Amino acid sequence: MLEKIRETADFLKSRIKHSPTIGMITGTGLGSLTERIVTDFRLPYEEIPNFPKSTVEGHRGVLAAGKLAGKSLIALEGRFHLYEGYSPQEVTFPVRVMASLGVKYLLMSSAAGGLNPQFERGDLMVLTDHINLKGTNPLIGPNLDEFGPSFPDMSQAYPPDLIRLAGKEAVHLGILIKQGVYVGVLGPCLETPAETRFLRMIGADAVGMSTVSQAIVGVHCGLKILAIVVITNMNLPDCMGKTSVADIIDASRQAGPALSDLWERIIGNLPDV
């Protein structure tokens, strides 16, 4: 595992002009976010040694390195999910690679279903915390001591200063942003009404199939994490409507421009580390 991480990091290091301090991961329908990067290079995942291939509709599977808002960053357009059949270690491999490249911030965006009845389709929600309901954990197995401790503290996985920064920049842009707890489920099927009621009862405001595994590994690597999700569909247990992947991708794409504006301002204002 460690050898593969090093091999991939070395491969990318030899191509990167500016060392990145920011790593970004975007998902369903959110590829447009990274179009604003002034790229040094873009590489399809197939051309990166040891990288899994993205198999999901709406996910591109391209790594871009370059500058956005004056900051050097590395961005993954398209992430890997456990439901594609990858192991928790494979899903989080790119986070380890980014940490090896010297990244200090992990910024993530994805689609999520809204559980909080005060939310609406198309809302943006910044994560204040998460619940790992995936039934597994990417840190299972021998600890990678080079990256972090065996029992990483999760009392502040999403640092409040970054949540505040997101709020401040959203106000600046006139974008309404909600805050809440994200519950990560395994998927790939969407939730039943009974499951939806359960997820709301345990304290979640939004549900999705990504983010959590990457956040856990990000914490393990000592990265500062900020995640903003697009509420692509509302899940209210007493009046569950049908949800299609096309609807989810459509809502993500619609939110793309506002979310890109927001990320660009956040990135421009991230404190140097």
* Contacting residues toward ligand HPA, per CB under 6 A: 111-113, 185, 190-191, 207-209, 232-233, 235, 243, 248
Of 107 and 248, CB closest to ligand HPA: 248
Q: How far is the CB of 233 from ligand HPA (least distance, A)?
A: 5
Of 100 and 214, CB closest to ligand HPA: 214
DSSP state of 141: S
Measured between alpha carbons, how far is 273 from 185 in angstroms, rounded to an integer? 32
Exposure of 189 by Cβ count < 10 A (0-12 exposed, 13-18 middle, 19+ buried)? exposed
Q: How far is the CB of 245 from ligand HPA (least distance, A)?
A: 9
Closest residue to ligand HPA, judged by C-beta, is: 113
DSSP state of 176: -
Give SS3 for 105: strand
Measured between alpha carbons, how far is 132 from 196 in angstroms, rounded to an integer? 15
Nearest Cα to Cα of residue 173 among 270, 263, 272, 68 = 263
Sign for the pseudo-dihedral over CA of 139, 142, 148, 153:
positive
Query: What are 271's two structure tokens?
Result: 């404190």
Q: How far is the CB of 81 from ligand HPA (least distance, A)?
A: 10
Q: How far is the CB of 256 from ligand HPA (least distance, A)?
A: 15
Give SS3 for 22: strand
Q: How far is the CB of 83 from ligand HPA (least distance, A)?
A: 10
Of 48 and 255, CB closest to ligand HPA: 255
**How do strand 105-114 and strand 71-77 relate by DSSP bridges?**
unpaired
Of 77 and 191, CB closest to ligand HPA: 191
**Cα distance from N-terminal residue to C-terminal residue, the chain:** 28
Q: How far is the CB of 227 from ligand HPA (least distance, A)?
A: 13
Of 104 and 200, CB closest to ligand HPA: 200
Of 207 and 226, CB closest to ligand HPA: 207
Q: How far is the CB of 131 from ligand HPA (least distance, A)?
A: 13
Amino acid symbol at 191: E
DSSP state of 104: -
Of 106 and 190, CB closest to ligand HPA: 190
Measured between alpha carbons, how far is 112 from 198 in angstroms, rounded to an integer? 16
Residues 6+ positions from 69 with CB-CB distance below 8 Å: 264, 265, 267, 268
